[in-house]
Amino acid sequence: MAKEFPTELLNKYYARGVELCDAETPMVCYCGRLATGLHTMHCSRFASKVKYKCKELAKAAGEVW
């Protein structure tokens, strides 16, 4: 099983991950609702996408976990 993605890496890439996800959802969130800042802050679908982007960014940067 894959190791849990460490919180410090998530924090490190979080802002960039949110930026990428925001760019992919200019109008509608991944869950189908309107992608307002207030919504995406509390949406679990959006949050899991951000985590996925953080993993990709970390991998691309050569981070190991």
Contact (Cβ atoms closer than 8 angstroms) between residue 1 and residue 61: no
From 53, 45, 39, 44, select the one nearest 10 (Cα to Cα).
Answer: 53
Contact (Cβ atoms closer than 8 angstroms) between residue 3 and residue 62: no
Closest approach, Cβ 51 to Zn ion, in A, equals 14
Closest approach, Cβ 9 to Zn ion, in A, equals 24
Site for Zn ion in 5-44 (CB under 5 A): 29, 31, 33, 43
Of 26 and 62, the one with the shorter C-beta distance to Zn ion is 26
The site for Zn ion (CB under 5 A) is made up of 29, 31, 33, 43, 45-46
